[in-house]
Amino acid sequence: MNIFVAKLNFKTTSEQLEETFKQFGEVTSAKVIIDKLTNRSKGYGFVEMPNDSEGYAAINDLNEAELDGSTIVVKKARPKTEGEGGGGGYQRREGGFRNEGGSGGGGGFRNRY
């Protein structure tokens, strides 16, 4: 079972997250998500527990519990849907100056009055 943990203290480590969830059973992995640019925690993470009943027990007991001075939110992670992930960056837009070539996009300049 994949578990989503939000509102983590920015100082909470993956190791601390794993230790917290180990109270409820076996933990396959625990990862605090780190921002690639700042190298700081994004304030959320994921915990993988192979036993669903242990996972649900952890969710029930740890949701709205305090960890490292923060009240955390714990729930079953939703599976990634098609098109999700990656995110960020710039969206490529087709079309160029005066709408020559490409499709979509705003095209060049036009009189708006």
| Mean predicted confidence (pLDDT) in 37-66 | 98
The pLDDT of residue 109 is: 57
Q: What are the boundaries of each domain within the chain?
A: 2-76
Main-chain phi, psi angles of 46, to 5 degrees? -135, 145
Domain 2-76: top CATH class = alpha beta
pLDDT of 41 higher than 70: yes
pLDDT classification of 12: cutoffs 50, 70, 90: very high
| pLDDT tier, 84 (very low <50, low <70, confident <90, very high otherwise) | low
Q: Residue 63: its pLDDT value, please?
A: 98
Query: What is the per-residue pLDDT for 8?
Result: 98
Instruction: Please report, for residues 33, 43, 45, 95, 96, the alpha-carbon distance to residue 102 in angstroms, rounded to integers and kept in the order given.
Output: 38, 40, 40, 4, 7
Q: What is the pLDDT of residue 101?
A: 52
Q: Please, what is the average pLDDT of the chain?
A: 85
Share of the chain above pLDDT 90, in %: 69
Helix, strand, or coil (residue 31): strand
pLDDT value for 5 = 98
